[in-house]
Amino acid sequence: MVFTWWGPQLNALLGGLVVATGAWLAWDSFSIWGAFLVAGGVAGFLIWRGRTIGLVWAWATLLLGVESLAWPIVTMVQVRSITMEPTEEQMGTILSAALMGLVSAVFWITFSYGFFKRAGQPIVAPSIDATDSSPPMVQSGHSRRNK
Residue 141: inside a domain, yes or no?
A: no
Quote the DSSP letter at residue 55.
Answer: H
Q: Do 118 and 54 touch, CB atoms closer than 8 A?
A: yes
CA dihedral 50, 110, 75, 37 (to 10 degrees): 10
Residue 63: inside a domain, yes or no?
A: yes
Is pTM, for the whole model, over 0.85? no
Number of structural domains (the chain) is 1
pLDDT tens, position by position, 18-46: 999 988 887 777 788 888 999 999 999 99
Residue 145: inside a domain, yes or no?
A: no
Residue 103: inside a domain, yes or no?
A: yes
Residue 51: inside a domain, yes or no?
A: yes
Range of the domain at 94: 7-119
pLDDT tens, position by position, 85-137: 889 999 999 999 999 999 999 999 999 999 999 988 655 555 555 455 555 55
C-alpha–C-alpha distance, residues 27 and 21, integer Å:
10
